Amino acid sequence: MSLEKIYQDVIDGQASAVEAGVKAALAEGIAPDDILRKALIAAMDEVGTRFEEGEFFVPEMLIAARAMQTGLGVLKPQLVAGGIEAAGRVAIGTVQGDLHDIGKNLVAMMLEGAGFEVNDLGVDVGSDAFVKAAQDGAQVIGMSALLTTTMSNMQKTIAALEAAGLRDKVKVVIGGAPVTQAYANQIGADAFAPDASSATRRVRELLA
């Protein structure tokens, strides 16, 4: 099974072909990380480019995203295989107004794989829900945003944590395509991670 075929099937939104392709690639011994980066993530980047260029519209993005999620589902057991002890409690969500969840799901999977207990709050998560998760014992709040228009809701959540008297009790890590280290500094987040594996590293460092 070639990675190019999986890549193309994601772009074409062929979920069952992606499922079969990822299974075949794993059976052939192709590293899960290569399948993830070179086929699944690379395909979503191409889908984004085609959307920007007006070649793809929301329905095409949506069916490609479903195909990607199907592939991720097959990879999940491989990605989470490493976990043993509970290394800490993390609550993660995509911020209010934002429905993109593939990157957030990947970060959640990697954290689980690294042994963290993950409370996935889902998408379109308001400040109150993040505050509640912190009150319920999360040591780290993870926020994802894919839209420049929703990034500012990260700052609102940090302000809400401060208002609730919880800011010094939880660490905040942020990420998502438009998010940068400079933005994390600007809003007073404890860490920024550009991808799922570095998110796991950052969370480990924050709890060390």
Amino acid (one-letter) located at 112: E
Rank residues 2 and 149 by Cβ distance to ligand B1M and give the closer one: 149
* Binding flag, residue 61, ligand B1M (CB under 6 A): yes
Residue from the set 35, 74, 158, 173 that interacts with ligand B1M by CB under 6 A: 173
Coil/strand/helix, residue 34: helix
The two tokens of residue 34 are 């290569």
Comparing CA positions, the residue from 85, 86, 110, 83 lying closest to residue 175 is: 110
Contact 25, 6 (CB under 8 A): yes
- The Cα-based distances of 28 to 3, 25, 31, 35, 53 in angstroms read 11, 5, 9, 12, 36
Residue from the set 28, 52, 85, 168 that interacts with ligand B1M by CB under 6 A: 52
Which residues lie across from 95 on neighbouring strands?
A: 125
Binding characters for ligand B1M, 93-132, by CB under 6 A (x = yes): ----xxxxxxxx-xx-------------------------
Residue from the set 6, 41, 67, 91 that interacts with ligand B1M by CB under 6 A: 41
- Provide the binding-site residues for ligand B1M, judged by CB under 6 A: 41, 44-45, 47-48, 51-52, 58, 61-62, 65, 92, 97-104, 106-107, 142-144, 146-149, 173-178, 193, 195-196, 199
